[in-house]
């Protein structure tokens, strides 16, 4: 689960991290009162969307010469003017895709005098099985280019889970940044704080880009991006409350309500599968025969007929889907239940695109009989290869 920058800063502030004062608003009428709460004379008006790259982003409605999604403002009037221009418009960034995201919320923040912009993130490093700090002196808006062109400028420091962030780790991070004096002192408290916030709230990613050294020599978290581990949210009601469903794919939300693993993709073949391995194999083989999956929906083991029907409806609701491949290996999941769910869903929502079904495993004969006797236009397939070729041919 992702949250907005202003929320992430609130969470980090709760752990004692230095963040700027700021006020989130959802209408331009609130802009003036928000700015009056800040010291000035420099303000920053920041689009709150669940995507990075806002500074370099462009508003669709405003043309190529307009300023981006993070704007400096030099007076309260300037804050109001920018807020009016930005709210309600669509921001396209390197991370939103070409459709962009509508900006419904702004964060009006105290402007900082920046000396240096650093990069700092914490993530779960699968190769070491530990949480790692990933740090670079090249913070700001182009970290992807740094990773690509000058990877030696990115330093990874893994943290022993038993010891936590040790003074030696802090030294390593401070050295990697070249921090001295007060900034290095700030690092001694900040890096353990970031780690504690990460662990205590079960984050899966925390990215501070930029972490800045201000002209007064102090550190400040200037941008913050947080993802929480969805599997641990049950023990963080306070974090769960930060969810903004308007930022998420509507079909993914519906799927999560049914406890289905649904992932939206860019192609045009919808896939209903059971098990992550079979999902990967199904997508691979669709690609092998020259098409792309539009999504996959993993119904898991032991799903009910209702859950299968919900999965099928979610898949067909995507207008990009031009054909559906149901590929189930019934182990715990029974093929007859899958067949009943598919038939029930098709009867309810209709079937406007070709449907290829490959069933194998528990109660497969019963499942096939249910499909055959349903009177629906379903193409049966014998195996994975046959199924993929049939759906690719049907979509054309
Ligand atoms: P994004 O990463 O989505 O582009 P950031 O929050 O990192 O958004 O902002 C982009 C840039 O804007 C930063 O790298 C920084 O230079 C500047 N900036 C952001 N917030 C402030 C602030 N409070 N004061 C001064 N400059 C800021
Ligand atoms: Mg940033």
pLDDT at site 349? 82
Q: Where along the chain do its domains lie?
A: 21-110, 114-239, 249-395
CATH of domain 114-239: 3.30.470.20
- What confidence score (pLDDT) does residue 108 get? 98
Winning range, highest mean pLDDT, from 6-15, 134-143, 253-262: 6-15
Lowest mean pLDDT among 212-216, 250-254, 387-391: 250-254
On average, the pLDDT of the chain sits at: 94
Q: Which atom of ligand 1 is nearest to the CA of 56?
A: 4
Structure tokens given for 168: 């030696």
Q: Give 45's pLDDT tier (boundaries 50, 70, 90).
A: very high
pLDDT at residue number 307: 87
pLDDT of residue 257: 85
In the set 43, 107, 119, 262, the catalytic residue is: 119
**Mean pLDDT, residues 188-207 taken together:** 98
Peptide bond connecting 210 to the previous residue in cis, omega within 30 degrees of 0? yes
Say what the pLDDT of residue 254 is: 84
Q: Which fold has domain 249-395?
A: Rossmann fold (3.40.50)
**CB of residue 38 inside a 6 A radius of ligand 1:** no
Q: Which of 50-54, 208-212, 327-331 has the lowest mean pLDDT?
A: 327-331
State the Cα–Cα distance between residues 106 and 303, nearest whole angstrom: 42
CATH of domain 21-110: 3.30.1490.20
Q: What order of strands is seen across the sheet that includes strand 58-59?
A: 58-59, 90-92, 101-102
Residue of 5, 138, 207, 340 with catalytic role: 207
Say whether pLDDT at 382 is over 90: no
Centre of ligand 1 from the C-alpha of residue 73, in Å: 12
DSSP symbol at 288: H
365 Cα to the center of ligand 1, angstroms: 60
For the stretch 308-343, pLDDT in tens is: 888 988 998 888 999 999 998 888 888 999 899 889
pLDDT more than 70, % of the chain: 100
CB atoms within 10 A of CB 213: 26
Has 247 been annotated as catalytic?
A: no
* pTM for the predicted model, two decimal places: 0.81
Closest listed ligand to the CA of 140: 1
C-alpha of residue 316 to centroid of ligand 2, in Å:
37
pLDDT above 90: residue 117: yes
Question: Is the peptide bond between 41 and the residue preceding it cis, with omega within 30 degrees of 0?
Answer: yes
> Residue 141 pLDDT > 80, yes or no?
no
State the pLDDT at residue 27. 95
Q: What angle do CA 106, 112, 118 make, to 5 degrees?
A: 95
Q: Is the minimum distance from the CB of 20 to ligand 1 under 6 angstroms?
A: yes
Ligand nearest to the CA of 221: 1
Cα separation, 244 vs 106, whole angstroms: 14
């Amino acid at each position: 689960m992702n949250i907005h920058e202003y929320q992430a800063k609130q969470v980090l502030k709760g752990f004692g991290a230095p963040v700027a004062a700021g006020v989130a608003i959802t209408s331009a009428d609130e802009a003036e009162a928000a700015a009056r709460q800040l010291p000035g004379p420099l303000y920053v008006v920041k689009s709150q969307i669940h995507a990075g790259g806002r500074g370099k982003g462009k508003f669709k409605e405003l043309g190529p010469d307009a300023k981006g999604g993070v704007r400096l403002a030099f007076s309260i009037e300037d804050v109001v003017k920018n807020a009016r221009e930005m709210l309600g418009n669509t921001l396209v960034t390197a991370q939103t895709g070409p459709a962009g995201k509508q900006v419904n919320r702004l964060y009006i923040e105290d402007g900082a005098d920046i000396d240096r912009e650093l990069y700092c993130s914490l993530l779960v490093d699968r190769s070491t099985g530990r949480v790692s700090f990933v740090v670079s002196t090249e913070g700001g808006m182009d970290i992807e280019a740094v990773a690509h062109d000058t990877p030696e400028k990115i330093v990874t420091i893994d943290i022993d889970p038993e010891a936590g962030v040790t003074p030696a780790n802090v030294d390593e991070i401070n050295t990697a940044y070249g921090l001295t004096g007060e900034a290095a002192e700030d690092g001694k408290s900040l890096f353990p704080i970031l780690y504690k916030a990460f662990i205590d709230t079960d984050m899966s990613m925390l990215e501070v880009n930029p972490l800045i050294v201000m002209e007064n020599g102090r550190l400040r978290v200037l941008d913050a991006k947080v993802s929480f581990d969805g599997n641990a949210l049950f023990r963080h009601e306070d974090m769960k409350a930060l969810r903004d469903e308007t930022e998420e794919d509507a079909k993914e939300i519906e799927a999560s309500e049914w406890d289905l693993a649904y992932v939206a993709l860019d192609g045009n073949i919808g896939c209903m599968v059971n098990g992550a391995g079979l999902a990967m194999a199904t997508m691979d083989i669709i690609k092998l025969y020259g098409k792309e999956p539009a999504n996959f929906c993993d119904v898991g083991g032991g799903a009910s007929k209702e859950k299968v029907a919900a999965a099928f409806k979610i898949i067909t609701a995507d207008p990009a889907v031009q054909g559906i491949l149901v590929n189930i290996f019934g182990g715990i999941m029974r093929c007859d239940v899958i067949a009943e769910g598919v038939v029930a869903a098709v009867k309810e929502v209709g079937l406007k695109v070709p449907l290829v079904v490959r069933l194998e495993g528990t109660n497969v004969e019963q499942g096939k009989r249910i499909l055959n006797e349903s009177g629906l236009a379903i193409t049966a397939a014998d195996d994975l290869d046959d199924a993929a070729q049939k759906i690719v041919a049907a979509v054309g």
